Structure 1
Amino acid sequence: MSQSQDPEVVDLLQQLIRNRCVNDGSDTSGHEAASAELLAGLVARSGADIERYEPTPGRASVVARIEGSDPDAPSLCYLGHTDVVPANEDTWSRDPFGGELVDGEVWGRGAIDMLNLTAAMSLAFARLARAGWQPRGTLVLAAVADEEALGSHGAGWLVEHAPDAVTTDYLITETGGMPLAGPGGKLLPVPVAEKGSCWCRLRVHGEAGHASMPFRTDNALVTAAEVVRRLARHRPVAEIHDSWRALVDAMGWPPEVTAAMLDPERVDGALDELAAADLVLVREAHACTHTTIAPTIVHGGSKINTIPDRVDLDVDIRTLPGWGPQEVRAMIADALGDLAPRVEIVDALDDPATASRFDTPLWDRLAALAARFHPDGRLVPTLQVGATDARFFRRRGTVSYGFGMFSDRIGYDRFGAMFHGDDERIDVESLAWSAAAFEQLARDFLGG
């Protein structure tokens, strides 16, 4: 069934990359209107219904639908985003916004995260509409802004302000289907859940003074340095959840390794032993089994000759299922020890983990479809350690998975390294496979 090339999806991805919809987290960044216009034109030419939403100037999303004939049939949404994170052009081998096709790979920011799938979903939708396909269940395409920040100009806004346009029974978004070679054979991990986010701002207090006399001063920056050190070395207790258990059971490790990976008291030691062989995979495994804490930004000081009396630290905390603000505060206090009274939590995002069942008809269809591309592979549910827009829909009861169809050309570890990394690129075979898979999945799952 698979095909190795699809020039139309390659061209669409290149255009999306060149639109340079860079989201730096500010309200005025992103400029996703350019890609919304591109995809709206593609869908409009196919004859499908389409709506455009722009809650903030330049932050546009588009939603298209092919209405089903049976209101009792399941509905499905293909959810892609059009924004990308910034790229440092000095550290890339090629122009991150050039969309160059080199040796069978399209280079550019967003080629992996997730313009490749947005292009494939959009093209599959347009082809179904062009063909006059009449499904029993409704198919929705949503190409949204602002996924790389908080979704407040994109999916989050749509779910709150236009729920009837985007709410479906089932949803597919990033990033599953990348082949993972394990001792027990090839696995195709599909995220069925994702960790929560608790981005915190920690304020460290001190006492101002003249920097020419630093002896025994209460320098907030010096205290903040120790706060960062303690946070970085903190090791939360491991937790074993269903998605991690399913992945470990499928990996095919020797029994003693499997037992250690499923034991909260031994999993850290087991991961340490594997780190030398595959650090990228071990980092993901660690994140799947721990609430993580990473200091990322520091704000402090006003003048070179003044002892700072206040320093703010931004900390990225990703929470496992069952964690909330109370648990996060307790973890921070535990990590800081006697410094905890010196640190004030002045801001904290409460965005808890979400999960979907994987004993569903959609899961069964995905497994059958994947076998057509990877006869030697099998689907396995996983926990997404980063945030996606799926969380907004899971909270409304939508069963949501991350899925694409990728070739063996780029290994699982390279995929992981390219998310928000340098030299991001995708092979043309994976693009063709994903476009074909999304078209076939709609036909298989929605009928018609």
Structure 2
Amino acid sequence: MAEDVVDLCAALLRFDTTNHGGGTSAGEREAAEFVAGHLDTVGVSASILEPAPRRSNVLARVPGTDPTLPALLVQAHLDVVPADPAEWSVPPFSGVERDGFLWGRGAVDMKDMVSMVLSVLGTWSREGRQPRRDIVLAFVADEEDQGYYGARWLVEHQRDFFDGVAAAISESGGYSYRAGPRRLYPIGTAERGTSHLRLTARGRAGHGSRRNPDNAVVHLLGALGRIAALEHPVRLTPTVRAFLERTGEALGVAVDLTDVDGTLARLGPAAALAESTVRNSTTPTVLRAGYKVNVIPGTASADVDVRTLPGTVDELMASIDAVLGPHVTREFLDEQPPVQAPIDSPWFDAMADALRAEDPEAAVVPYCMGGGTDAKAFTRLGIDCYGFAPLHLPEGYDYRAMAHGVDERVPVEGLRFGARVLDRFLSS
């Protein structure tokens, strides 16, 4: 059985758990069996649940020494996005170690976190240790699509399993980020909401050679142009406000919350962690219209990726409706609210303490994720969800380009650092 975090991660990377979206997936079954088998070996009883064939979720609970304390959920997904082998330097599911990195699809999104958790549990088993509070484990399917076979399904059909859980940790936070003279460690305490829209324009079908002022394609393009031109106002959530203030303090940069764009410009590389989360966004991504070049279609549609900050959804939708035009309607494809966890909390403090114990120079700051994770599902249970999958990253390594990118890889020493940090945090 693999025990070292690097060996565990390499083994997980060799399972093809590609999620193509739309319910089409290689499935998480083999990876789930590997995880459940490891848990069983270290004395943790695990269950595999499948809402559909091969769409596998692993649930387990590690008892703590004080059952009166609220439990902590550790949730991580087993599926990965597609990878084209022709674009990669190594086969995407080889799990090879080269130049101090483990290479493979899922190396940072997020089989690294799965392997770190399994490594910690193996250490506890060998040393006869227990955490203070119950640790609830959920290694889930389908995060890279809609979560209907994973977190969303669990929240709807296995709700009782999460009774007593007060907080959760998962991906997209706790990694080192070089910003000038300091190493920042952003911990995810918020996520923008997701309001994916479909726009449908209707007009008069006809021959492409004839004048037609009621062209659905033209109606749609006009609406998309107006939506793309919307200027969204700055809206500072508690997390983003705290990020700007604490990052400015760590870097010795003046922060003016009345001039957020100017403040971001002064933060240098650190601005990338906040620039997408000071405003809502409306990004056209998919177009559908027509079937023949000389035929004007009667309908045309587009999908728009809309991301929302807390308390702004009604205002944003009103601004979209104002520019759609009379021939275009909208409907929600998916609507998930923003996520916000407390910043000044014992959970955040414990994460920061664990990071600083392994890296005394760490400047730990909260941040808001521009996209989304399975936290959107688990927060519906009243769980405070944090992005905390710790890694120490080498200079010149672009972590934010790794997830869903070509030649995804994770530093070997970063994995070992993360396992030590998680051990400290989960033990305390």
Q: Scaled by the length of structure 2, what TM-score is found? A: 0.91
Partner of residue 198, structure 1: 195
Please point out which of 297, 300, 317 is paired with 1:311: 300
User: Going by fraction, where is helix more abundant, 1 or 2?
Assistant: 1
Change (3 A) 1:327 1:125: farther
How far apart are the structure 1 equivalents of 2:401 and 2:102?
16
Partner of residue 367, structure 1: 352
Partner of residue 420, structure 2: 436
- Contact 1:184/1:251 (8 A) holds in 2: no
Amino acid at match of 1:204: A
Please point out which of 139, 146, 149 is paired with 1:150: 146
How far apart are the structure 1 equivalents of 2:381 and 2:345?
17
Amino acid at match of 2:376: R
Amino acid at match of 1:127: T
Structure 1 position 34 matched with structure 2 position 30 = yes
Structure 1 segments unaligned to the other structure (5+ residues): 1-5
User: Going by fraction, where is strand more abundant, 1 or 2?
Assistant: 2
How far apart are the structure 2 equivalents of 1:207 and 1:121?
58
Please point out which of 295, 298, 312 is paired with 2:284: 295
Amino acid at match of 1:366: M
Please point out which of 317, 327, 335 is paired with 2:315: 327
Q: Deviations over 1:17-45 (max 9, x none)?
A: 22121112222325011211110111111
Q: Give the superposition deviation at 1:129.
A: 3.5
How far apart are the structure 2 equivalents of 1:292 and 1:184?
31
Q: Give the superposition deviation at 1:321.
A: 0.8
Change (3 A) 1:159 1:216: closer
- Figure out how many residues of one structure are paired with residues of the other and give that number: 425
- Contact 1:219/1:308 (8 A) holds in 2: yes
SS in 2 for 1:332: helix
- Contact 1:35/1:82 (8 A) holds in 2: yes
- Contact 1:247/1:381 (8 A) holds in 2: yes
- Contact 1:195/1:319 (8 A) holds in 2: yes
Q: Deviations over 1:149-201 (max 9, x none)?
A: 22221112112211232341221111212223345732211011111100111
Amino acid at match of 2:319: M
Greater CA drift, 108-117 or 358-367: 358-367
- Contact 2:3/2:122 (8 A) holds in 1: no
Amino acid at match of 1:162: Q
Change (3 A) 1:411 1:153: farther
Structure 1 position 346 matched with structure 2 position 342 = no
Q: Give the superposition deviation at 1:383.
A: 0.9
SS in 1 for 2:56: strand
How far apart are the structure 2 equivalents of 1:126 and 1:63?
17
Partner of residue 233, structure 2: 237
Q: Deviations over 1:403-441 (max 9, x none)?
A: 1222231557x1112222222111001111112222232
Please point out which of 108, 114, 117 is paired with 2:113: 117
SS in 2 for 1:64: strand
Coordinate RMSD, CA, aligned? 2.5
Q: Give the superposition deviation at 1:7.
A: 7.6
Structure 2 segments unaligned to the other structure (5+ residues): none
List 4+ stretches of structure 1 deviating above 6 A.
Answer: 253-256
Partner of residue 3, structure 1: none
Please point out which of 41, 46, 49 is paired with 2:42: 46
Change (3 A) 1:435 1:29: same
Q: Give the superposition deviation at 1:226.
A: 3.2
Q: Scaled by the length of structure 1, what TM-score is found? A: 0.87
Q: Percent identity?
A: 36
SS in 1 for 2:51: strand
How far apart are the structure 2 equivalents of 1:63 and 1:191?
23
- Contact 2:169/2:388 (8 A) holds in 1: yes
Q: Give the superposition deviation at 1:102.
A: 1.4
Q: Give the superposition deviation at 1:51.
A: 1.2
How far apart are the structure 2 equivalents of 1:51 and 1:410?
40
- Contact 1:201/1:314 (8 A) holds in 2: yes
Structure 1 position 407 matched with structure 2 position 387 = no
Partner of residue 396, structure 1: 381
Change (3 A) 1:258 1:183: farther
Q: Deviations over 1:82-118 (max 9, x none)?
A: 0111223333333222222110111222111111112
How far apart are the structure 1 equivalents of 2:286 and 2:408?
24
- Contact 1:172/1:403 (8 A) holds in 2: yes
Structure 1 position 386 matched with structure 2 position 379 = no
- Contact 2:177/2:185 (8 A) holds in 1: yes
